[in-house]
Structure 1
Amino acid sequence: MLSRLKKPDPLIVLIIMAVIVAIIVPARGQFAEWFALATNIAIAFLFFLYGARLSTTEALRGLTNWKLHLTILGFTFVAYPIVGLLLYPLTAVISHELYQGILYLTLVPSTVQSSVAFTSIARGNVSGAIVAASVSNLAGVFLTPLLVMLVMGAGDGVSVDTQVFIDIAVLLLLPFVLGQIARKIVPWVAGAAAHKATKLVDRGSITMVVYSAFSAGMVAGVWTSVKVCEIVFLIVFSAALVAFMLWLTRFISAKAGFPRADVIAIEFCGSKKSLATGLPMASVIFGGASLGLLILPLMIYHQVQLMICSWLAARYGREAEAAEAAHA
């Protein structure tokens, strides 16, 4: 975790740069419209690469561990939203808009790349993590907007049309399916997607979404309502929520009798929230100037979870190596 603080993740740097540029030169008028179109193209291409890198055979084989996947889905789309609803009293110390952002982050799918990476470092069930995280993102195409309609639709100012399901399916699910098809037809596509291409497009698309959202907020003047104390609160709150969900996922999965490798996969997949999927969904579901405030908690939470989980995964990995050495 200290190494992450000394050498920031390139994604963090890109997000900060996108915010600064949006403050100085926000996207306006026709340029904003063209930039939004380019952002959607980048997002679609990212999910095309996700589809191209996931082996269909491996995915089908991994689906047989249905208890693992149902448990992770339960944490992601049941436990998290319940926690989000229970946090409503926070509106006594933060604005209602920021609480809506906190509530929204509890509704988005799990991460893919970081969940798998941390599970691998911790010597967990890597194949199970790959399938579980991918299933979470595919299920999120329908479950996240549905949960937004059920949980946030009753709130003031939030209205979700059923067209959202079609828009998100076209933006995220269709490119994923096309990636699976391209994997079969053009073999080198899978190799390209498995290397740096996905990471570059991942970072680039997130940066574009952040710039677009913050630009809309600057043009509409919504950022004048955000206080420094609220930003500090979100950082502290994110650390507390990540720690609680890591403990909850590990405690329940261990009590349920899962082996160590599966417990680790559940802990890292079930406690994470995806910025790469959450931001595109937010732009489709909400849109407009209010998007900036809604995605701020998710952006902060994402970075906090990366730092805490990187430290925890490294600790688990050292413990596994020590156990193997003692056994040998």
Structure 2
Amino acid sequence: MPRVFSALFRRVDPFIMCLLLTIVLASFLPARGAAASGVGGLQTVAVALLFFLYGARLSPREALEGLRQWRLHGIVFAVTFALFPLLGVLVRVLEPGLLGPQLYQGVLFLCLLPSTVQSSIAFTSIARGNVAAAICSATFSNLIGILATPLLAALLLNVTKSGADFAGQVLDIVLKLLVPFIGGQLARPWIAGWIRRHKRMTTLVDRGSILIVVYGAFSEGVVGGIWGQLTPPRLVGLLLVNALLLAAVLAATSYGSRRMGFAKADRIAIIFCGSKKSLATGVPMASVLFAGPMVGLMVLPLMLFHQMQLMVCAGLARRWAAKADVDHAAVIS
């Protein structure tokens, strides 16, 4: 039995463990009063820094070269911003029984988010896929998501916050996410080299920024009493829904890309970019779009889906890499 737990622990992303510990900390020591205001200000700075670094990392030349593979990117965008939202709407039939109203809204919000960047590229590389296409597709997905996700949320979710209309929310997202990203692009000629040399440090800043936002979101939720709404049957139902969503999209991207005649390397990029949802973009965006205590339950489905997608896609990437090695050895012999 200890070996089982040890193997399971090794398969869990350390960042997810940090997220869980952050939730535990927020549950027992939530930020209140003046401390909550301080955490709110720190969240704003952390999110701006996060997207500034995203902008500084992206090479404009790589982005322009990647535009040539428009069919591949079109498939990934269709899955991310059309198929996923459609599946999220269909999940509503499970809302009264399997999911409560707020958890269902969290699942639907998860379906509206852009793809991940780092894990999509990493898994595509491991599986011997088209890495250049994955870089461009995942990055473009995040840029488009800055506007597409709020628009979809306005259409499918109640995103109004007290004293702010939808236009104000979009402006808030543009100022907090897009403007820092553009700032990073403008500063790239002077800082790109430093960022490449200090990759570990910038990764820590990325993840630390997300942890700050998660702590702030769950602190508000704990103060607002969210844990009373999350029962064990609801949690099991949420895990089941996440698993069904991931399985459906993996099957759709695999079958669809094959039927459309894409090469294997391109199919791998489509599968990994199309099936992901970005925690790094989703958590900050939720803190802008949704009011107070609601944020905690809104990001919980995303956090669970994030770990699930990492575990499943890591297994797929390793299997396809092993098969590619066998095929390569067979050709040589």
**Is the counterpart of residue 99 in structure 1 residue 86 in structure 2?**
no
Report how far residue 30 of structure 1 moved.
1.4
1:178 aligns with 2:183: yes
Equivalent position of 1:189 in the other structure: 194
Q: Which amino acid aligns with 1:264?
A: I
- Tell me the distance in 1 between the aligned counterparts of 2:205 and 2:166: 29
Query: Aligned to 1:67, which of 68, 71, 78?
Result: 71
- For residues 231-257 of structure 1, give each alpha carbon's deviation from its aligned partner in whole angstroms, at most 9, with x where no partner exists: 122222222221221111111111111
**Counterpart in the other structure of 2:223:** 219
Change (3 A) 1:237 1:213: same
Asked whether the equivalents of residues 148 and 160 of structure 1 are also in contact (C-alpha less than 8 Å), the reply is: no
Alignment match of 1:270 (pick from 259, 271, 274): 274
Contact 1:160 1:286 in 2 (8 A): no
Query: Which TM-score applies when normalising by structure 1?
Result: 0.94
Matches within 5 A, 1:155-304: 161-192=166-197, 195-304=199-308
Using the alignment, how far apart are the partners of 1:187 and 1:314 within structure 2?
31
The amino acid that maps onto 1:150 is L
How big is the shift at 1:184?
1.4
Instruction: Report how far residue 189 of structure 1 moved.
Output: 3.5
Match for residue 43 of structure 1 among 37, 43, 47: 47
Judge which range, 230-239 or 261-270, deviates more: 230-239
Equivalence map 1:148-159=2 (5 Å)? 148-153=153-158
Partner of 1:130: 135
After TM superposition, give the deviation of residue 302 of structure 1 in Å: 0.7
Name the CA distance, whole Å, in 2 between partners of 1:25 and 1:164. Answer: 29
Measure the CA separation in 2 of the matches of 1:168 and 1:51.
15
> In the alignment, residue 280 of structure 1 is paired with which amino acid?
P
Distance, in Å, in 2 between the alignment partners of 1:134 and 1:187 is 17
2:23 to 5, 14, 19: 19
* In structure 1, C-alpha distance between the alignment counterparts of 2:49 and 2:304, rounded to whole Å: 25
| 1:164 counterpart letter in structure 2 | Q
Structure 1 residues 313 and 111: CA distance shift in structure 2, 3 A: same
Cα offsets for 1:50-92 (capped at 9, x unmatched): 1111211111111111111111000000010001111111113
Q: In structure 2, how many angstroms separate the alpha carbons of the residues matched to 1:129 and 1:228?
A: 37
Question: Quick check: 2:52–2:182 contact (8 Å CA) kept in 1?
Answer: yes
Larger mean Cα displacement after TM superposition, 43-52 or 98-107: 43-52
1:253–1:215 distance in 2 versus 1, CA, 3 Å: same
> Aligned partners of 1:3 and 1:174: how far apart in 2?
43
Name the SS of the counterpart of 1:108 in structure 2.
coil
Q: Counterparts of 2:200 and 2:159 in 1: how far apart (Å)?
A: 42
Report if the CA contact (8 A) 1:63-1:131 is conserved. yes
Tell me which amino acid in the other structure corresponds to 1:218.
V
1:147 aligned partner: 152
Please tell me the residue identity of whatever aligns with 1:323.
Answer: D
CA distance in 1, matches of 2:228, 2:197: 43
> After superposition, what is the alpha-carbon deviation per residue over 1:105-144, rounded to whole angstroms, capped at 9, x for unaligned?
0001100000000000011010110110000000000000
Q: Give 1:160 deviation, angstroms.
A: 5.8
CA distance in 2: counterparts of 1:187 and 1:87, whole angstroms = 43
Aligned equivalents of 1:186, 1:268: Cα separation in 2: 30
Runs of 4+ residues over 3 Å off in structure 1: none
* Partner in structure 2 of residue 5 of structure 1: 8
Please state how far the C-alpha of 1:326 moved relative to its aligned partner: 0.8
CA pair 173-68 structure 1, distance change in 2 beyond 3 A = same
State the alpha-carbon separation in 1 of the partners of residues 79 and 269 from structure 2.
12
Are the aligned partners of 2:56 and 2:192 in contact in 1 as well (CA < 8 Å)?
no
- Segments of structure 2 that go 5 or more residues without pairing to the other structure are none
2:38 aligned with 1:58, yes or no?
no
- Preserved contact between residue 87 and residue 245 of structure 2 (Cα < 8 Å): no
Query: 1:123·1:261 contact (CA, 8 Å) conserved in 2?
Result: yes
Mapped to 2, the partners of 1:236 and 1:312 lie a distance apart of 20
Please identify, of 253-262 and 202-211, the stretch whose mean Cα deviation from structure 2 is larger.
202-211
TM-score, length-scaled by structure 2 = 0.93
Q: Tell me which moved more, 280-289 or 199-208.
A: 199-208
